[in-house]
């Protein structure tokens, strides 16, 4: 939120005003432009032509329209009209890893395909004017952030032109029965109203170990090997990271990338896992130079409405 926006839309600071139209006018345009910018940067780093993208997976919980943002992103990038598009809406914090899972499935089932995964979020859709009656809202304002991210996913990389960063080995999704109200979001006349139950960190702590064990046993690891693998965890908030670290007895540096992303960008919903992976690659390149790298294998994790656990067993190909 900025003073410029509030001057243009002064009704946003009036309690109880039906402003969903104004919010969507802002958000729909903003998330498209951020997704275009992130995707262009990603495609440039990839090094191949935009015309070689065959599929698009677009993730956002910050817009609502028909046609969806996937079409506007495809048009803004100049993708072929034959590009196969999938959009994942309102998956919240788990959306980025869910997008990776879907892109992985597409790539493995379509030889020679190249899937662009783009995520884009803005908090304006859920902005509330400050109120002494809702002091807890300040926590949300401090915690959540805006941004966008993008990745290219494919199988059988071309050695001469592509430098793969991760191998996505196994992807799973679980939801916890009877937790639907723990993360509750509703589209109202005032925008999106979110409620996060205080027991969310405890619920994640109670179930995280069994979920991770399902993934790591695929390559012969056990719970005794938690500190032998990397951890790319969506930082829903400090309490979630702290409880995971304690429950799994992780070394403090294992969640460095997640804590850096949270400190620098806040919880930017589906985007944040992109920032975490980028920081993790940066840190692994430093440890590689010092010949102190961790093992290749690790977990990419996120938690969202449902409560839904998304996880990918991956191998870091840069260490």
Query: Of the listed 27, 42, 93, 212, which one is catalytic?
Result: 93
CA 69 distance to own-chain centroid: 17
In angstroms, the CA 53 to CA 167 distance is 19
Q: At what angle do helices 238-247 and 256-265 cross, to 10 degrees?
A: 170
Burial 216-226, CB ≥16 within 10 A → b, else e: beeeebeeeeb
CA-CA distances (angstroms) from residue 262 to 99, 145, 166, 234, 235? 20, 9, 22, 9, 6
Residue 27: active-site member: no
Burial 6-37, CB ≥16 within 10 A → b, else e: eeebeebeeeeeebbebbbebbbebbbebbbe
- For the chain, the first-to-last Cα distance in angstroms comes to 39
Tokens standing for residue 163 = 């430098």
* Catalytically annotated residues: 93
């Amino acid at each position: 939120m900025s003073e410029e926006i509030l001057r243009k839309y002064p009704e946003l600071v009036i309690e109880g005003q039906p402003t969903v139209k104004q919010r969507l006018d802002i958000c729909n345009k903003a998330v498209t432009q951020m997704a275009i910018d992130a995707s262009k940067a990603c495609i440039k780093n990839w090094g191949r032509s935009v015309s070689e993208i065959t599929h698009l997976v677009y993730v956002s919980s910050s817009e609502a329209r028909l046609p969806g943002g996937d079409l506007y992103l495809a048009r803004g990038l100049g993708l072929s009209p034959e590009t196969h598009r999938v959009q994942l809406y309102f998956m919240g914090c788990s959306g980025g890893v869910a997008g990776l899972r879907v892109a992985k499935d597409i790539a493995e089932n379509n030889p020679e395909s190249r899937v662009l995964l783009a995520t884009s979020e803005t908090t304006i859709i859920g902005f509330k004017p400050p109120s002494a009656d809702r002091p807890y809202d300040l926590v949300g304002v401090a915690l959540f952030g805006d941004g966008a991210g993008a990745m290219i996913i494919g199988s059988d990389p071309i050695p001469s032109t592509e430098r793969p960063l991760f191998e996505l080995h196994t992807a799973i999704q679980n939801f916890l029965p009877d937790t639907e109200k723990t993360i509750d979001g509703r589209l109202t006349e005032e925008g999106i109203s979110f409620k996060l139950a205080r027991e969310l960190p405890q619920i994640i702590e109670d179930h995280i170990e069994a979920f991770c064990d399902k993934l790591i046993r695929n390559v012969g690891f056990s719970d005794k090997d938690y500190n032998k693998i990397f951890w790319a965890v969506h930082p829903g908030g400090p309490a979630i990271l702290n409880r995971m670290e304690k429950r799994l007895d992780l070394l403090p540096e294992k969640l460095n990338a997640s804590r850096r992303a949270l400190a620098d960008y806040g919880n930017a919903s589906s985007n944040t896992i992109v920032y975490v992976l980028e920081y993790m690659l940066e840190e692994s390149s430093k440890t590689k130079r010092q010949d102190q790298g961790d093992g290749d294998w690790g977990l990419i994790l996120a938690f969202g409405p449902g409560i839904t656990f998304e996880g990918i067993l991956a191998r870091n190909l840069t260490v």
